[in-house]
Amino acid sequence: MGALDWLIIFLVLLAVAAAAFVVIRRRRRGGGVFATRGKP
Amino acid sequence: MKLLMTASQINGLPVVTVHGGDDVAEVRDVIYNPEAGRLVGLTLNKRGFFSGRSREVLPAEAIHAIGRDAVMIADESSLVAPADAPDDVGHPATDRNVIGNDVLTEGGTSLGVVRDLALLVGSAGEVVGYQIEKPAGGHGYIPLPAQLAVSGAALVVPDVTQEFIRDDLVGLGAAVDDFRARLGMQ
């Protein structure tokens, strides 16, 4: 494989890693403000 | 010491033990009781960059103090399993996130959309208002009555709330007592 192929593979892996990082951070962060259930 | 903070300022704070200074968790979500107008507990994340949600929760009764930079607890035994916590904290109503809810007056005027919750913290947490995004754009703070029923996608507040919209937390702090006194007179 040529240098361009390796570059594309590298960029794809980088994009996957960045997406996984964002998902993990979002799931971990939380940040909800939950009201308790009112009286029925 | 009393301090006005928003829920988004509390989310992400480290949970630190008074006895030992250990950093044991991080605040994930804020749970409050709108009818009692008070904080009832916090859900937690484990510490560490990639670590996830903690199974343990922190009921309000176990909080020693909430400060600008940390939530203080006596020791690690303050963190309890969901089964041992009050049900509202152990199993929070995740479908009742008030962020994004409309705020309507009893007269049918929209004051905006909830963007954050304002709390008077210290040794306990009293809910005093909401940060809203106004329909015309921009942010403001509205005070809340001591008790407020939240049962649907919209929060219904007294008509007089319109007169007490403030631009910042400091203004809200000054407006809460006047607002509640005004409601008491009506």
**Is residue A11, in this structure, part of any structural domain at all?**
yes
Q: What is the mean pLDDT of residues B71-97?
A: 90
**Is residue A23, in this structure, part of any structural domain at all?**
yes
**Is residue A8, in this structure, part of any structural domain at all?**
yes
CA distance B149 to A35: 10
Instruction: Report the pLDDT value the prediction gives residue B186, as an integer from 0 to 100.
Output: 56
* pLDDT per position as a tens digit, A1-40: 788 999 999 999 999 999 998 887 777 677 888 988 764 3
The boundaries of the domain holding residue A11 are 1-27
Is B42 within 8 Å of chain A by CB?
A: no
The residues pairing with A4 across neighbouring beta strands, listed in sequence order, are none
Distance of CA B129 to the CA centre of its chain: 9
* pLDDT per position as a tens digit, B159-185: 999 999 999 988 998 898 899 888 876
**Is residue A20, in this structure, part of any structural domain at all?**
yes
Q: Nearest by CB to A33, which of B7, B33, B151?
A: B7
Helix (H, G, I), strand (E, B) or coil at B92: coil
Strand segments, DSSP code E, in B52-107 are 53-59, 63-66, 71-73, 102-105
What ipTM was predicted for this assembly?
Answer: 0.83
User: Residue B66: which of B127, B123, B9, B6 has the closest Cα?
Assistant: B123
Tell me the pTM: 0.82
Identify whether the C-beta of residue B57 lies closer than 8 Å to the C-beta of residue B43.
yes
Which one-letter DSSP state was computed for residue A38? -
Instruction: Report the pLDDT value the prediction gives residue B68, as an integer from 0 to 100.
Output: 93
* Residues of B with Cβ-Cβ distance to A32 under 8 angstroms: 28-30, 43, 92, 94, 97, 99
Distance of CA B186 to the CA centre of its chain: 27
Sketch out chain B's domains with CATH numbers.
3-90 (2.30.30.240), 102-185 (no CATH)
**Is residue A36, in this structure, part of any structural domain at all?**
no
* pLDDT per position as a tens digit, B86-108: 988 998 888 888 888 899 898 98
Number of domains in chain A: 1
- In the block, tokens 């890693």 appear at A17
**Is residue A18, in this structure, part of any structural domain at all?**
yes
The tokens describing B68, both together, are 């600008």
Residue type, B66: I
Is A22 within 8 Å of chain B by CB?
A: no
Q: How many CB atoms lie within 10 A of CB A2?
A: 7
Q: How many CB atoms lie within 10 A of CB B47?
A: 14
- In the block, tokens 């403000």 appear at A33
Mean pLDDT of chain B: 89
* pLDDT per position as a tens digit, B49-71: 767 889 999 999 999 999 999 99
- In the block, tokens 């203080």 appear at B72
Q: What is the mean pLDDT of residues B122-151?
A: 85
Helix (H, G, I), strand (E, B) or coil at B109: coil
Instruction: Report the pLDDT value the prediction gives residue B184, as an integer from 0 to 100.
Output: 78
Instruction: Report the pLDDT value the prediction gives residue A40, as an integer from 0 to 100.
Output: 32
